[in-house]
Structure 1
Amino acid sequence: MNLEVIKQVRKNVPLIHHLTNQVVMNFTANGLLSFGGAPVMAKAEEEAHNMASLADGVLLNIGTITRADIKAMILAGQAANQKGIPVVLDPVGVAATSFRTDAVNEILKEVKPTVIKGNAGELANLVDTPWETKGVESIGEGNIAEIAEKVSIKYQTTAVLTGKTDIIHTTKERITNETGHPLLAKVTGAGCLLGSILAACLTTDAPIEDQAYTAVHFYGLAASYAAANPSVQGNGTFIASFLDALSRDPGTLESVIT
């Protein structure tokens, strides 16, 4: 983990423009604030390009996507590409329906993502690899490293495949991460918030391998730290403890876990 990445985020407080799903907006905003970034939620087509032009990074999350959202995401993504700021694409539940699949394909034709983040089922869909899914959840099994590599190569981007073991595949190398906690799977929006944290880390001047790994590793550490809090009795108390943990110094998190 590159501590300079987190230091830079907290010093610069990057503005991340979120075009994300309605279920997770509040949780995502609070989580990014705790980590050190600044969230703005703006999905209207009329302002998507302008808002992205003002931001330091853009997150495109299709969790509750509508036809109007697709155009707004393309406009925001194109503005980010023109400005040279990072774009994180989170194809939530892309394999669930043809509408979602078509929406992501439409976005990818017009926008160059810096990172594509998703679970194995979502990323497998992007490279036409059979994988069992249930709604927005990935329940199949297979070679996750191969899936991440295929996504990275096909879209010439960094792929972040999340799960019990996280796989980060850049155009140069593959990195694995083992931090995390099972309670994350019980919280709606945990993966979506990771996309926001990733976008914030991508605004720093570290190599993308360090940016992506730091985001994923720190996120997992924060989850384990939060779950170890004696006050945590279940999902609800875990959420509060997790939001607090995202603001902690990395050394504090590591000292408890190790």
Structure 2
Amino acid sequence: MHQKIIETVRTNKPLIHCITNYVTVLDVANMLLASGGAPIMADDINEVEEITSICGGLNINIGTLNERTIKSMILAGKKANDLKHFTILDPVGAGASALRTKTTFQLLDEVKFSVIRGNISEIKTVANGSGTTQGVDADIKDAITEENLSEAVAFAKSLSKKTGAVIAITGAIDLVSDEKTTYVIRNGHPIMSQITGTGCMLTAVIAAYGVANPDRILEATAAAVCAIGLSGEIAREKVEEIKGGNGSFKIFFMDAMSQMDDEQLREGAKFEIR
């Protein structure tokens, strides 16, 4: 993994336009700041194109979808494409409702994304509409395991080729893939699923890493996934030391991300390339 991905983010402080969900918006903003980026949140149709124009990247998250913001997402996405800006889609809950699934495909039809990030159920829906998403969490039957890892890697490479985007599938085992190369990442801890928004935060961090490292988006995306997972591991250790709970974990998690540097990431990243 490149030695200066995080340093480049902290030096450039990329401004990311987030059209995201209101459940996690504050945590997304703070995690972007912790990663070295900067957030701006705007979803009114009358300003999204203008806001996108002054940012380096666009993060679209459909977690609390409504008809008003769908139009804003498409307008912002097209403007970002016109400007050749980094774009990322987080299809939260795709497959859980007709509206989410329809909107996901509409966005994919009308906007070219640099990265698509979701859990395996959401990404299967992106691929063929056949995911079995339960709410916003992955159906356990869709989990990536050591036993089906080869098939999952092939699936990720195929979807990257189909969409032209880097595919990031997150879960107990994370995959970050273009059509030729897949990072298999094993950072993180189950406690991360006990607070809301770790996926939303990751998507925003990927945007910051991608904007700051435009010539190596695959590697930058993998670095972001490793960094978030490693931050979770560090936070869990500190929570155990003080016998804390979910609230303490959330604070330590953000602290770890704000203090992460390239050397720490290089030493702590757990990945193989396939």
* TM class, shorter-length: over 0.9
Query: 1:9-158 maps to which residues of 2 (within 5 A)?
Result: 9-128=9-128, 130-139=130-139, 140-141=141-142, 143-158=151-166
User: Are 1:245 and 2:256 matched, yes or no?
Assistant: yes
d(CA) in 2 for partners of 1:158 and 1:89? Answer: 11
Q: Which amino acid aligns with 1:17?
A: H
d(CA) in 2 for partners of 1:2 and 1:257? Answer: 12
* Contact kept? 2:91, 2:117, Cα under 8 Å: yes
Partner of 2:174: 166
User: Percent of aligned pairs with the same residue?
Assistant: 35
Comparing 53-62 with 121-130, which one deviates more in the overlay? Answer: 121-130
- TM-score when normalising by structure 2: 0.89
Change (3 A) 1:179 1:256: closer
d(CA) in 2 for partners of 1:108 and 1:256? Answer: 34
* Contact kept? 1:225, 1:256, Cα under 8 Å: no
SS at match of 1:84: coil
How big is each residue's C-alpha offset from its partner over 1:147-186, in whole Å with a ceiling of 9 and x where there is no partner? 3223212211110000111111113311111111111111
Structure 1's unaligned 5+ residue stretches are none
* Contact kept? 2:123, 2:131, Cα under 8 Å: no
User: Are 1:220 and 2:229 matched, yes or no?
Assistant: yes
Structure 1 residue 20: deviation in Å? Answer: 0.2
Comparing 223-232 with 244-253, which one deviates more in the overlay? Answer: 244-253
Structure 1 residue 84: deviation in Å? Answer: 1.2
Q: Which amino acid aligns with 2:110?
A: E
Partner of 1:203: 211
d(CA) in 1 for partners of 2:84 and 2:255? Answer: 32
d(CA) in 2 for partners of 1:225 and 1:166? Answer: 18
d(CA) in 2 for partners of 1:212 and 1:257? Answer: 13
d(CA) in 2 for partners of 1:231 and 1:2? Answer: 34
- TM-score when normalising by structure 1: 0.94
How big is each residue's C-alpha offset from its partner over 1:188-231, in whole Å with a ceiling of 9 and x where there is no partner? 11000000000001112341221111111111111101111123
Structure 1 residue 257: deviation in Å? Answer: 8.9
* Contact kept? 1:225, 1:253, Cα under 8 Å: no
Comparing 131-140 with 15-24, which one deviates more in the overlay? Answer: 131-140
How big is each residue's C-alpha offset from its partner over 1:83-136, in whole Å with a ceiling of 9 and x where there is no partner? 111001000001100111111111111100000000000000111264432111
Change (3 A) 1:78 1:222: same
Change (3 A) 1:119 1:256: closer
d(CA) in 2 for partners of 1:129 and 1:96? Answer: 11
SS at match of 1:180: coil
d(CA) in 2 for partners of 1:120 and 1:146? Answer: 13
Structure 2's unaligned 5+ residue stretches are 143-147
CA RMSD of aligned residues (A): 1.8
* Contact kept? 2:226, 2:265, Cα under 8 Å: no
Give the number of aligned pairs: 258
